[in-house]
Amino acid sequence: MAQSRAGTYLLLIEAKQPTTVTVCRLGIMSVVAGYYVYVGSAMAGLEPRLARHLRKKKVMHWHIDYLLAVTELAEIWAHRGVERLECQWARLLCEEMQQPMSGFGASDCRCATHLFYAPERPRFEWFRILQPEGDLVRLTAPEWLSGLPAPTNR
């Protein structure tokens, strides 16, 4: 069986001060101080996608690229596997967190958004509800990707 390099992830992003950013065709987003959680998936490869999000210099392509240009990535929470969990996680977060911009990161699905906001830093333990089996890992600076589990045979 081939190893899965796919996965689903959450980016915990800190906005230290208010600003605005133009997000592609979505328009101008008011970024308020606090924490944003972005839900994403990488079915073709988790490491390359996360490495791209970590780079400061890149061609702006996804909605999240514009937000990351004016904020700081605080943590990454990742799950390795071929299951498509992105929309399931987004639906759960819709029930618990504010939704700062409709359509953000959700242009290829029916979700309202894949971006969420909290004025206080969300606790990692709370996000365990997304993956109760315990295979959601927390990645922090400076060794961002070294804590990522090896590819699985799932």
DSSP string, 47-70: HHHHHHHH-SS----SHHHHHHTS
CA 131 to CA 128: how far, in whole Å? 5
Which pLDDT does position 15 carry in this prediction?
97
Q: Over the stretch 76-98, which tens digit does the pLDDT of each residue have? A: 999 888 888 999 999 989 988 99
Is 4 strand, coil or helix?
strand
Q: Is 153 a member of any domain?
A: no
Residue 24 domain flag: yes
> Is 150 domain-assigned?
no
Q: 132 lies in which domain range?
A: 7-143
User: Distance (Å, rounded) from C-alpha 83 to C-alpha 128?
Assistant: 16
- Is 85 inside any structural domain? yes
pLDDT given at position 1:
35
Residue 23 counted as domain residue: yes
Name the stretches of the chain with pLDDT < 70.
1-4, 130-134, 142, 145, 147-154
Q: Is residue 1 part of a domain?
A: no
Amino acid letter, 2? A
pLDDT number for residue 86:
93
Residue 78, φ and ψ in degrees, nearest 5: -130, 150
Nearest-angstrom CA–CA distance, 135 and 109: 25
Provide the pLDDT for residue 108. 87
Q: Report how many domains make up the chain.
A: 1
In-domain check, residue 152: no
The closest of 27, 24, 36, 100 to 63, measured between CA atoms, is 24
